[in-house]
Amino acid sequence: KQEVTQIPAALSVPEGENLVLNCSFTDSAIYNLQWFRQDPGKGLTSLLLIQSSQREQTSGRLNASLDKSSGRSTLYIAASQPGDSATYLCAVEADSSYKLIFGSGTRLLVRP
């Protein structure tokens, strides 16, 4: 059974720091991996989607990498800002079925 783990559960950094969020999954046979952002009391917003054949995706200050063989993905946030404060969720899709398996998230606080 696929399991997704995110470490750390919470992270507090001063503004301007570069930071890395980690996601690991137990079954390397995935279709894609996605990173989502969730603001308190809100729904999820997709940040980056990496297909199984890809190694990384970039959007602005965000870069996500995927290493299927080791079952790991990282989300790199450059020059963090207070507006980046949110919970970041990693999810894998086992096959082309749209069924996502989520990690429990990393709660990020960027201090001014």
Q: Would you tell me which residues interact with another protein (CB under 8 A)?
A: 4, 9, 34, 36, 41-46, 49, 51, 53, 89, 91, 96-105
Q: State the minimum distance, in angstroms, from the CB of residue 95 to another protein.
A: 10
Cβ atoms 65, 77 nearer than 8 A: no
DSSP assignment string, 63-95? EEEEETTTTEEEEEE-S--GGG-EEEEEEEESS
Residue number, 34 or 65, with CB nearest to another protein = 34
Residue number, 69 or 97, with CB nearest to another protein = 97
What DSSP designation does 16 have?
T
Report, in angstroms and rounded to the nearest whole number, the Rg of the chain calculated over CA atoms.
13
Q: State the minimum distance, in angstroms, from the CB of residue 103 to another protein.
A: 5
Residue number, 30 or 91, with CB nearest to another protein = 91
